[in-house]
Every structure is written in structure tokens, then in C-alpha cells.
Amino acid sequence: MTVESAGLLLFRHEAGALLVLLAHPGGPFWRRKDLGAWSIPKGELLAGEDPEAAALREFAEELGAAPAGPLVPLGTIVQRGGRRVHAFAAEGDFDVATMRSNTFAMEWPPRSGRMQSFPEVDRAEWFAPEVAREKLLTAQAELIDRLERTLEGTAGGAG
């Protein structure tokens, strides 16, 4: 069965330049990983849940607050492993210093019998699109291209 998720790519303009907000996954596996490890805030759809509602819910769970305002569909991507991600974009601001993530528990160190709690997201940062493409999981880099095409279209540019 295919796992379906929904996520939200928050963006803003600063001094005329586009910036996007990405989340770095928490936990020991991701601690020292950077390039190709970041993600848009996203998570699994609940049974019967609307993808837009799921994207907002997951953003709030992983970062502490969801943006207000309309969501712009960016379509669906398929990540390695087959996970389908329904992606949306929203313009807004988010102070990364206020980030609060939900947590998950796992046995750590492995085979130790000790359960530890880790944040689902350990940090969030704003990036220029060219940097974001390098930071993102490979399949999600396409979302930056889709966002840029969408913004060009709404500004009356070629799109």
C-alpha cells in the first residue's frame, strides 16, 4: 500500500529575493546529515483526511504554528521508497527561533533497551531556492521549481 503524505512549502520575499522554509529531521540518524536531508514540513494523511488540512496540521505539529492564508497546490511528487507527497505552498513568515516540534520515541542506542524521545524536526531555516534544492530530499527539489513557475505565472511573467 502506498503511503500518502501532505506538506507545505512556506515562502517569503526578502529584499526582493525568494526564500523558502525547510525543516531538518530530528533524531540520531539525521544528526550529522545536511545535503539531501532537509524536507518541507510534511506527514502522513489520516484516513479520509483532506490533503490541505493534513499539510496545515503537519506544519503546526512539526514547527509549532501553521500559516494563515490560502494554500497554492504544487501537485504530487513520489519520493524514493514510493511515498506520495501532496504539496502546497503558502506565502508567510515564520520566526525559526520560535519553532516547537512534536516528538517521537525510539530505542537509542540500538539494542540498548532504552527508549529516548527526539523532536520530529530539530531545526528550520530559510534558504534561497538554489541552496534549498541542494538541502532537500532529491524528489522534493522539484517543488522549488514548481513554486518558482507558479510565482512567475502570478506575476505575469512567462510560465
pLDDT, residue 159, reads 41
With cut-offs at 50, 70 and 90, classify the pLDDT of residue 156: low
Query: Distance (Å, rounded) from C-alpha 94 to C-alpha 76?
Result: 24
Compute the average pLDDT of residues 99-109: 94
Query: Distance (Å, rounded) from C-alpha 99 to C-alpha 63?
Result: 5
Cβ atoms of residues 9 and 21 within 8 Å: yes
What secondary structure letter does DSSP report for 83?
Answer: -
Compute the average pLDDT of residues 70-87: 95
Task: Answer whether residue 147 shows pLDDT above 90.
Answer: yes
Between 103 and 69, name the one with better pLDDT.
103
Helices vs strands, H then E, count in the chain: 3, 8
Alpha-carbon 101 to chain mean position: 13
pLDDT digits (tens, 9 = 90+) for 5-62: 999 999 999 999 999 999 999 999 888 899 999 999 999 999 999 999 999 999 999 9
Could you give the residue ranges of the DSSP H alpha helices within the chain?
A: 51-63, 129-135, 141-154
With cut-offs at 50, 70 and 90, classify the pLDDT of residue 155: low
pLDDT, residue 158, reads 44
Compute the average pLDDT of residues 84-111: 95
All domains in the chain, ordered by first residue: 4-154 (3.90.79.10)
pLDDT digits (tens, 9 = 90+) for 109-133: 999 999 999 999 999 999 999 999 9
